[in-house]
Amino acid sequence: MTIPLNETQRKIFAELDWEDTALSINPYGALGSDGVTARYGGSVHFTARLAPDPSGNGPLKTFLLPPKRGTSCKLARRFGSDRILRLRVGDVDPNEADAFLRRPMVLENHVFELLLVKDVSLLIFL
C-alpha cells in the first residue's frame, strides 16, 4: 500500500535520500566541503516527545512527531539527520525523566543514547 505524500514530505524524504547517497559515497560528503558542490546535509529534524502514559498508570512514553526541515548542525551534517533525535520533555517528574534518559532507547534498529541537554530539548545521538 502506498501512502500519498504532500510536497513538504516529498522534499524531506528527497533530502534524506540525498544525505544517504552523499554519506555512502564519502563519509564526509554531507559537510558541504567536497569541492564539487556547496550543498550540505543535516537539515531534517527528527523529534519525539517524552510524556506520561495517557492512561495515567504506566511508565513514560515516547511519542514520535513528523520529521521537519530546520537548521543543520555539525553532527547531523557529519553523520546524517537520521542519527540525531531531539527529545522534548513535557510535564514529567524530573526523577522519572532522569531514569528514562539514562537507558539507551531503541527505535527501528537504531540505538540512541543521551548526548547533550539543551534547554527543553535533549539531543540524543546514535
At residue 1, does pLDDT exceed 70?
Answer: no
- For the segment 58-80, the average pLDDT, to the nearest whole number, is 89
At residue 73, does pLDDT exceed 70?
Answer: yes
CA 47 vs CA 15, 37, 39, 40, 52: distances in Å: 17, 29, 23, 20, 17
State residue 12's pLDDT score: 93
pLDDT tens digits for range 19-58: 999 889 888 888 877 666 678 888 999 999 988 888 877 7
* Non-local CB neighbours of 102 within 8 Å, separated by 6+ positions: 114
Joined together, the cell numbers standing for residue 107 give 527505535
Share of residues in the chain with pLDDT > 90 (%): 19
Compute the Cα dihedral for 15, 17, 23, 25 and give only its sign. negative
User: Would you call 66 helix, strand, or coil by DSSP?
Assistant: coil
State residue 15's pLDDT score: 92
